[in-house]
Amino acid sequence: MADGVHGLMRPLACAHDWVERVLVPGDSAVDATAGNGYDTLFLARLVGPSGHVHAFDVQAAALEETRRRLMREGCGERVSLHECSHSRMREAVPDGVKAVMFNLGYLPGSDHAVKTVKEETVPAVQAASELLLPGGVLTVMCYPGHEGGREECEAVEEFLESLPLPQWRVVRLASANGSSDAAFLLAALRVPGK
């Protein structure tokens, strides 16, 4: 089990674990930053053929890569791909989603100038919180190590800290003995029954 615990201490693995505990077949979910489509595929598998995933990216090439990945795995029909900023999530996604995943920053191996920015990310996280059903979870992978990244992470954290108790539980998973540039996870659970 030691390996399993070690794996779960990685923020992205932890985000996946929490989303996996919440999503069931037939649910609706959002990947706010599709990139190469790994998280989109992860969500699509969990919601199954009767569920639906909305995936956003500003880069056509990223969405094309996501589309190819989904088709290869037979999950293309349950995903809507939106080539626009995630700040337009409210226009594109019907109310009532069980999970929203953000993986901020830039796509490794592509143009680093195309990256998430706090002016778009904070409204998008707010929109995601408005779409989320009780029992649903919102995860944000944060990367403070690149230019503008720390300000973006702080702005997202400030918004999430404002979500009221007892309707919301907000947590931060970060390395306590690593670099302050290390990636960390912010997550918000919309508490069921509140």
Kindly list the residues in this chain that would bind ligand SAM in the complex (CB under 6 A). Answer: 33, 35-39, 56-59, 62, 85-86, 103, 105-107, 114-116, 120
Of 75 and 168, the one with the shorter C-beta distance to ligand SAM is: 75
Least CB distance from residue 2 to ligand SAM, whole Å? 27
114: which residues sit within 8 A by CB, 6+ positions away?
A: 58, 59, 106, 107
Is-cis flag, bond preceding 123, omega within 30? no
Please, which residue, 28 or 85, has the CB nearer to ligand SAM? 85
Nearest to 92 by CA among 59, 64, 127: 127
Residue 42 or 168 with smaller CB distance to ligand SAM = 42
Provide the minimum distance between the beta carbon of 103 and ligand SAM in the complex, in angstroms, as a whole number: 4
Q: Which residue is nearest to ligand SAM (CB)?
A: 35
Judged by beta carbon, residue 59 or residue 191, the one nearer ligand SAM is 59
Please identify, using beta-carbon distances, which residue of 40 and 168 lies nearer to ligand SAM. 40
φ, ψ dihedrals at 2, nearest 5°: -55, -40
What minimum distance in Å lies between the beta carbon of 30 and ligand SAM?
A: 11
Cα distance between residue 34 and residue 103, in whole Å: 8
Strands 28-31 and 52-57: parallel
Q: Which is nearer to ligand SAM, 62 or 156 (CB)?
A: 62
CB of 177 to ligand SAM, least distance (A): 24
CB 189, min distance to ligand SAM, A: 20
Contacts of residue 99, Cβ cutoff 8 Å, sequence gap at least 6: 19, 22, 23, 27, 29, 30, 43, 136, 137, 138, 139
Least CB distance to ligand SAM at residue 105 (A): 5
Take residue 14 and report the two structure tokens written for it: 């932890």
